[in-house]
Amino acid sequence: MSTPEKHEFQAEIAQLLDIVIHSLYTDKEIFIRELISNAADATEKFRFLQTSGTAVFEPDRPLTIAVSTDDTAHTITFTDSGIGMTRDELIENLGTIAHSGSKAFLQQIKENANNPSIIGQFGVGFYAAFMVATKVTVFTRSYQPGESGWIWSSDGVSNYEIEPGLDLNRGTKIVINLKEADREFSRAQHVESIIKRYSNFVGYPIELNGTAVNTISAVWTRNKSELTDTDYDEFYKFIGHDIDGPLYRFHFNADAPLAIRALLFVPKHSLEKLGMPKSESEVHLYCRKILIQSKSKGLFPEWLRFLKGVVDSEDLPLNISRETMQDSALMQKLNKVLTSRFLKFLEDEAKSDADKYAEFFKEFGHFLKEGIVSDYTHRDALAKLLRYETSQSETAVGIADYISRMPEEQKEIYFITAANREACLASPYYEGLKAKNYEVLFFFDPWDEFVMDHLREFDGKKLVAAERSDIALEPTENKLDDTAARLLCNFIKESLGDKIGDVRVSKRLVDSPAVVVESDKGMTSTMRRIMKNMNRGGEVPFKHDLEVNPNHPMMVGLENSRKDHPDLSKQIAEQIYDNALISAGLLEDPQAMLKRINSLLEQLVTK
């Protein structure tokens, strides 16, 4: 007998194992899910190869997954007849961190300083076995006819051993020697309940000590009428690795232009919103129940990456290579059909249950907005799905609703961006629209202005920032006549100098003395704020104009007193401008302003 070769784990694996072994993780049982899912993956891969005509070792061996427990030896064993591994694959797959799941996990652990609950969410895959094992032994033989068998073993601490294994069947057998504290996993009854919980839908029989335990069902291929909510939820929990049920499910068949069976789910929560890294689509592509591509890229646009589920299309050629799959015309066609159908589904849901849709929009609305900004194809359908609070409605409504309430003479759709509802209502940009009784969409996220910038119109009506609207109130007898108002504007412009573009009389202010308006037609104060942040405080190459209210007592007073008190009036003009900047969220230097306010107060008390 040859002596086994010793190999060191790659540093990251050693680190991962250390975390896995030492975490006080309560759901240790997920190692069963992980090993069965690996066995199912290996079996699917084998079936795929065999179906596409590849020569295989032991072609007639049945495709089952067997779990056996030994309560005396305290072991649990997982056996599959899948593709197995060659010696190189053993080293690559079980000794390095090339595969995605564990990599993402390590990343998360680094960012979430030791929060072991995410083990369950990400799955550390094969290494989960070391939560319960004193030793793991892997017997494996590749499907490739010219290969031989190998035995891999490790205590999960620093290194592993590999030696040749004689007379092995095709596939993989993993024997786990359990830690004393984890001997419950060698009790058949306990293991059975875990398999049922996690692996009920695996497309191959799972036998526990010789008896099949899973209900084999590719739920998406069955008729809606045969399926219960529980069937769907369990299927979702299994494929979505989620403890909760889904928020939405969408099960549909199509015959033209492609034969599609799809079962799609929207989770209750967006992990990205919770601060997790950009998620990967978890929609798997099947052809007649055979896995073509898991986490299929290209099946949906990026901005629908929160979807989970299964798409099965008989029109997919089985032997298509996975690499070319992504770009194929067929894939693009699938993408278009699926995306349109899903957006239509959301539109219907929004109509039939607005509260539930509001919940969805709160979690996933920003993905739809991302779609509007990044993808022209579905822009109009996406625009219908937007929901905003408005000046008239504290519950968010769609833009179509807004339009249905527009008075006849109103031609454009208006919006305001501010931190919250109160700030929108108090905005000087809202005054004129309020006086005209025009409804205004309220944005609490500056990002929405970019969304509008891409949409430009809805149903033929322009989307216009309130501050950019050329709304004019009915002309009234102003407290300052035209000449006096013009002279005041000139004075303010002189006082402020180059800091500002034009100063003019406003036709839309009611309560505020003055308001800043961007001189560039394409700009708004919100965009200026965003540009400034991106520039890290650098100058934005456009100036503001100032519009002044000819009816405000402050303006009337200023015009009357500026000749007698030129210095004080200049300070007041500067303060009026700063106040307008504050109101637009654009004031940069409060220190300079404080000095001026103190000086003004001083003049007031010593008068």
Residue 250 binds which entry of Mg ion, ligand ADP, none, CB below 5-8 Å type-dependent: none
Count CA atoms closer than 13 A to 208's CA, side-chain side.
21
How many residues belong to the chain? 607
Q: Between 36 and 572, name the residue whose CB sits nearer to Mg ion.
A: 36
300 binds, among Mg ion, ligand ADP, none (CB under 5 to 8 A by kind): none
From 121-129, 261-269, 310-318, 474-482, give the range in contact with ligand ADP by CB under 6 A: 121-129
* 42 binding ligand ADP? (CB under 6 A): yes
When the beta carbons of 176 and 540 are compared against Mg ion, the nearer one is: 176
Q: State the minimum distance, in angstroms, from the CB of residue 175 to ligand ADP.
A: 12
Q: Which does 80 bind (CB under 5 to 8 A by kind): Mg ion, ligand ADP, none?
A: ligand ADP
Maximum pairwise Cα distance, the chain: 110
Out of 13, 30, 38, 270, point to the residue binding ligand ADP (CB under 6 A): 38
- 42 vs 316, beta carbon nearer ligand ADP: 42
> How would you label 5-33 residue by residue, b for 16+ Cβ within 10 Å and e otherwise?
eebebeeebeebbebbbebebeebbbbbb
Q: Binding partner of residue 322 among ligand ADP, Mg ion, none, CB under 5 to 8 Å per kind?
A: none
Residue 499 CB neighbours (<10 A): 13
Q: How far is the CB of 29 from ligand ADP (least distance, A)?
A: 16
Nearest approach, Cβ of residue 402 and ligand ADP (Å):
47
Q: Which residue is nearest to ligand ADP (CB)?
A: 125
Task: Give min distance, CB of 123 to Mg ion, in A.
Answer: 6
Helix, strand, or coil (residue 415) = strand
Stretch that binds ligand ADP, among 119-127, 235-243, 357-365, 577-585 (CB under 6 A): 119-127
- For residue 542, the 8-state DSSP code is -
Which helix (DSSP H) or strand (DSSP E) does residue 489 occupy? helix 482-496
Q: How far apart are the first and last CA of the chain?
A: 106
Residues touching ligand ADP: how many (CB under 6 A)? 19
CA dihedral 568, 574, 578, 584 (to 10 degrees): 130
Q: Does 213 bind ligand ADP (CB under 6 A)?
A: no
Taking the complex as a whole, how short is the minimal distance between the CB of residue 73 and ligand ADP, in angstroms? 21
Q: Where do the H-state alpha helices sit in 473-562?
A: 482-496, 525-534, 553-561
**Residues binding Mg ion (CB under 5 A):** 38, 125
Taking the complex as a whole, the smallest distance from the CB of residue 132 to ligand ADP amounts, in Å, to 15
42 touches, from Mg ion, ligand ADP, none (C-beta below 5 to 8 Å by class):
ligand ADP
Q: Which stretch of DSSP H or E encloses residue 140?
A: strand 133-141
Gap between the Cα atoms of 549 and 479, Å rounded: 10
Q: Which does 120 bind (CB under 5 to 8 A by kind): Mg ion, ligand ADP, none?
A: none
The b/e string for 350-361 (b: 16+ C-beta within 10 A; e otherwise) is beeebeebbebb
Strand partners, 69: 76
Indicate the residue among 142 and 313 with the shorter CB distance to ligand ADP: 142
Measured over the CA atoms of residue 316, residue 319, residue 322 and residue 323, the dihedral's sign is negative
**Which partner in Mg ion, ligand ADP, none is near 39 (CB below 5 to 8 A by kind)?**
ligand ADP
CA-atom Rg of the chain in angstroms: 33
Identify which of residues 32 and 399 has a Cβ nearer to Mg ion in the complex.
Answer: 32
Which residues, listed in sequence order, are joined to residue 546 by a DSSP beta bridge?
503, 516
Strands annotated E in 495-541: 503-505, 514-518
Strands 211-212 and 206-208: antiparallel
* Distance separating alpha carbons of residues 484 and 461, to the nearest angstrom: 38
Toward ligand ADP, which CB reaches closer, 14 or 354?
Answer: 14
- The minimum distance between CB 418 and ligand ADP, in angstroms, equals 45
Q: Is residue 569 within the footprint of ligand ADP (CB under 6 A)? A: no
Cα separation, 365 vs 282, in Å, equals 19
Nearest residue (beta carbon) to Mg ion: 125
In this complex, which beta carbon is closest to ligand ADP, that of residue 94 or of residue 555?
A: 94
Distance in Å, CB of 83 to ligand ADP, minimum: 6
Stretch 8-37 residues interacting with ligand ADP (CB under 6 A):
34
Decide if residue 172 touches ligand ADP (CB under 6 A).
Answer: yes
Work out the number of other CB atoms within 10 angstroms of the CB of residue 50.
15
Q: Which does 172 bind (CB under 5 to 8 A by kind): ligand ADP, Mg ion, none?
A: ligand ADP
Q: Is 126 in the site for ligand ADP (CB under 6 A)?
A: yes
HSE-CB at 83 with a 13 A cutoff on CA atoms is 18
Q: Considering beta carbons, is residue 42 or 527 the nearer one to ligand ADP?
A: 42
If one asks whether residue 199 binds ligand ADP (CB under 6 A), the answer comes out as no
Smallest distance from the beta carbon of 234 to ligand ADP, in angstroms? Answer: 21
Cis, bond preceding 277 (omega within 30 deg of 0): no
| Smallest gap from residue 381 Cβ to ligand ADP (A) | 34
- Residue 457 Cβ, how far from ligand ADP at the closest point, in Å? 46
Near ligand ADP in 69-108, by CB under 6 A: 80, 82-85, 93-94, 99-102
266 touches which of ligand ADP, Mg ion, none (CB within 5 to 8 A by kind)? none
Cβ 339 to Mg ion shortest distance, Å? 29
Give CA angle at 347 (342, 353), nearest 5°: 115
Task: Look at residue 240 and give the partner it binds from ligand ADP, Mg ion, none, a contact being a CB closer than 5 to 8 Å depending on partner kind.
Answer: none
Measure CA 301 to chain center: 12
What backbone torsions phi and psi does residue 52 show, to the nearest 5 degrees?
-90, 10
| 224 contacts ligand ADP (rule: CB under 6 A) | no
Q: Nearest 5°: phi and psi at 22?
A: -95, -5
6 or 99: CB nearest Mg ion: 99
Positive or negative, the Cα torsion across 218, 219, 221, 226? positive
Say if residue 317 is preceded by a cis peptide, omega within 30 of 0. no
Encoding tokens for residue 350? 């929004």
Q: Which is nearer to ligand ADP, 124 or 316 (CB)?
A: 124
Which of 411, 417, 343 minimizes the C-alpha distance to 379?
Answer: 343
Binding site for ligand ADP (CB under 6 A): 34, 38-39, 42, 80, 82-85, 93-94, 99-102, 125-127, 172
